Amino acid sequence: MRKASLATLALIAGLGFAGPAAAQHEGHDMTVKAVIDPALAKAVADPLRATDRARDQYRRPDETLAFFQVGPAMKVGEYAPGGGWYSRLLGLYLGPKGKLVGLFFDPTPAVFGEKMKAGIRESVTKYPAEVAGWSNQPADRFSAFALDTVPEGEKGTFDRILVMRMMHNLLRWNLADHEIKQMRELLKPDGMIGIEQHRAKPDAPYAFTDGNKGYLREADVIKFMEVNGFTFVGKSEANANPKDPANWPEGVWTLPPAMDGAKDDAEKAKLKAIGESDRMTLLFRKRP
């Protein structure tokens, strides 16, 4: 098991003691092993994840969710669920006792064409039934909405919101301020946002870190979240990949799983040997 830089115990979170434990260590560089909640370990090992499991070596979902202090009885929002890789796992983990909510882009900005706007609305409608089918859990354990139409009673009710490899899109589409502020309003007073994001080198130029290459600088993400009402709790290296030089001219999509532009099997083999991108894994608490 890799080491994390904060005592983020999903087992403790599930027992209701995560808040004080995390607050005690805020602002400190802690290096401890994450303890995996047995219910999370069971969900990660579930046979329903047979197809998804190949990417566990890169995404480290057990350590990542433990670091984010996601407990099995929590209300958790997954922002921009996409193809559902994390939704399938979260459905298994949260379905029995918790609540999983798909949080989708506000589809109204001009950056989205009419087809994409319709697709977002359709995804919102389909999400609860899809997760129920993936996880064999009751559909009422899942819900979804877009951030332009937050339902009555949802604000201030979320324990955690997860933003997985999506901050670059928010920044390059000029949506980050609005979407993060909406997520902040959804969180409980002590709620937290967990961010996993492709990580640029600290000295990477702005032309490479404006979101269009997929990579962002860790310091920039931390500063952005602090400006938008969050306290930086800590970071984990669970999703680090030192083999990634993070300087691909065509961006992160050069690497697996996309491998865009790979000309032959030999080139694909070299990229597979590197693996998926180097990623920051950051945790933020809603600031009063």
Q: Can you give the pLDDT at residue 33?
A: 58
Containing structural domain, residue 160:
3-286
Number of domains in the chain: 1
Q: What is the CATH number of the domain that holds 89?
A: 3.40.50.150
Give me the chain's average pLDDT, please: 90
Q: What is the helix (H) or strand (E) element at residue 145, kind and residue range?
A: strand 142-146
Peptide bond into 96 cis (omega under 30): no
What's the average model confidence in pLDDT over 12-29? 38
Inter-residue contact 280 to 241 (CB < 8 Å): no
DSSP SS3 for 158: strand
Higher pLDDT, 275 or 7: 275
Q: Residue 16 — very low, low, confident or very high, per pLDDT cuts 50/70/90?
A: very low
Strands (E), 28-98: 32-33, 75-79
Q: Residue 35 — very low, low, confident or very high, per pLDDT cuts 50/70/90?
A: confident
Give the C-alpha separation, 176 to 198, whole Å.
16
Higher pLDDT, 18 or 120: 120
Q: Residue 9 — very low, low, confident or very high, per pLDDT cuts 50/70/90?
A: very low
> What is the percent of the chain with per-residue pLDDT over 90, rounded to a whole number?
87
| pLDDT exceeds cutoff 70 at 127 | yes
Q: Can you give the pLDDT at residue 93?
A: 98
Q: What is the pLDDT of residues 58-79, one digit of tens each?
A: 999 999 999 999 999 999 999 9
Q: Can you give the pLDDT at residue 197?
A: 98
Calculate the alpha carbon distances from 193 to 41, 69, 115, 181, 265 in Å. Answer: 22, 10, 30, 12, 39
- From 30, 35, 85, select the one nearest 233 (Cα to Cα): 30
User: Kindly report the CA angle at 10 between 277 and 15, in degrees rounded to 5?
Assistant: 165
Encode burial over 271-287: b for 16+ CB neighbours within 10 A, e otherwise. Answer: beebebbbbbbbbbbbe
Q: What is the helix (H) or strand (E) element at residue 39, kind and residue range?
A: helix 38-44
User: Three-state secondary structure along 211-233?
Assistant: CCCCCECHHHHHHHHHHCCEEEE
The structure's pTM equals 0.89
Q: What is the pLDDT of residues 250-273, one digit of tens each?
A: 999 999 999 998 999 999 999 999
Q: What is the helix (H) or strand (E) element at residue 159, kind and residue range?
A: strand 158-164
Q: What is the pLDDT of residues 138-195, one digit of tens each?
A: 999 999 999 999 999 999 999 999 999 999 999 999 999 999 999 999 999 999 999 9
Q: What is the helix (H) or strand (E) element at residue 85, kind and residue range?
A: helix 85-94
What's the average model confidence in pLDDT over 104-131? 95
Higher pLDDT, 11 or 85: 85
